[in-house]
A = this chain, B = another copy of it.
């Protein structure tokens, strides 16, 4: 049985992952990425990859799930920022 803390972890995973969707949609539709910070998303992307490794070490499904999807979405934002700079 999944304990309460694993559910908190999974909800956290869904929220921090979902948070990137409106930003990706906004950047994609508006083609405006002027106030997005490129250094932020590059540093963030590398950090997320390390969180993924750490999550694998902790054997945390929530962390592995969240960081895999977030890394992918952050990469899309980096590509959009470079495309529409």
- In the complex, the answer to whether B8 meets A54 with C-beta atoms within 8 Å is yes
**What 0/1 readout, one digit per residue, does chain A (3-30) give for beta carbons within 8 Å of chain B?**
0010011011111111111110011001
Given A12-B47, A60-B58, A62-B54, the answer on whether A36 and B36 have CB atoms closer than 8 Å is yes
Interface size on A, residues (CB 8 A): 41
- In the complex, the answer to whether A40 meets B19 with C-beta atoms within 8 Å is yes
Interface assignment of A83: CB less than 8 Å from any CB of chain B: no
Cα separation A35 to B25 with both chains bound (whole Å): 11
Residues of chain B lying within 8 A (CB to CB) of residue A47: 11-19
- In the complex, the answer to whether A51 meets B18 with C-beta atoms within 8 Å is no
- In the complex, the answer to whether B44 meets A15 with C-beta atoms within 8 Å is yes
Interface assignment of A79: CB less than 8 Å from any CB of chain B: no
- In the complex, the answer to whether A19 meets B34 with C-beta atoms within 8 Å is no
- In the complex, the answer to whether B22 meets A54 with C-beta atoms within 8 Å is no
